[in-house]
Amino acid sequence: MPDYYEYHAEHFLSTTKDIDMGMQYQMFLPYLKPGAHILDAGCGSGRDSLAFHLLGYDVEAFDLSPAMVEAAKALTGLEVRCLSFQQMDYEATFDGIWACASLLHVPKTELVDVFGLLHRALIENGILYCSFKLRETDFSQDGRNFTCFTPGSFQTFIDQAGGFSLVTQKQSNDVRPGREQELWLNAVLRKIPASSQSQEGK
């Protein structure tokens, strides 16, 4: 997967770094306190890391593509790790995790385990934003695999994965020029405290 972003880095950066993510930010940021600690997970160009940093948040970021890591470092001036979702090693570190159009490259067979790592990385009652292409079935295109959900199938996934409660879901159109017909599913989740989970299991 990172090979695509290595070979197409310039095109990807030029088409994504300046787009308006205001609606998505408004889904996520109201749940966080000023100066909250945010992880931009799969940060791409660093566009959102920079936006959060300029708003006064404490931001860390990672991406699997070395080209994206370097681009994000250059844009933000922040440290950016070269890391996959499956390699996340954070523990009770972040108030919020922002995973914008990044988890969709994690195969569904690995997604439950990755959500477990995201859960571990968040503090109690921490917030996770994520987005997926809104389709009934997964697909492959240009050497990339896409994991997709509908509102119903995502709720079912969260129920099965455990550890999170679904705060809200919204559908949106792609904001890239010429891609407006593509639909996205945006979701905000809250980490369920371990004590609550143990009570539910009784």
Q: What percent of the chain has pLDDT over 70?
A: 83
Q: What is the CATH number of domain 2-200?
A: 3.40.50.150
> Which residue ranges make up each domain of the chain?
2-200
DSSP for residue 118: H
Instruction: Kindly write down the DSSP assignment for every residue of 29-84, as one continuous string.
Output: GGGS-TT-EEEEET-TTSHHHHHHHHTT-EEEEEES-HHHHHHHHHHH-S-EEE--
Tens digit of pLDDT for each residue in 117-134? 999 999 999 999 999 999
Tens digit of pLDDT for each residue in 74-105? 999 999 999 999 999 999 999 999 999 999 99
pLDDT at 199 over 70: no
Name the band, by pLDDT with cuts 50, 70 and 90, for residue 12. Answer: very low
Tens digit of pLDDT for each residue in 16-57? 555 778 899 999 999 999 999 999 999 998 999 999 999 999
pLDDT at 148 over 80: yes
Kindly report the average pLDDT of the chain as a whole number: 87
Q: Which residue has the higher pLDDT, 122 or 144?
A: 122
pLDDT at 6 over 50: no
pTM: 0.87
Spatial CA neighbour of 83 closest among 61, 53, 101: 61
Res 141: pLDDT: 75
Contact criterion met (CB below 8 Å) for 131 and 104: yes
Structure tokens at 148: 């997709």
Which stretches of 73-118 are assigned E, i.e. beta strand? 80-82, 94-99
CB neighbour list of residue 88: distance below 8 Å, 6 or more residues apart = 41, 62, 114, 117, 118, 120, 121
Res 94: pLDDT: 98
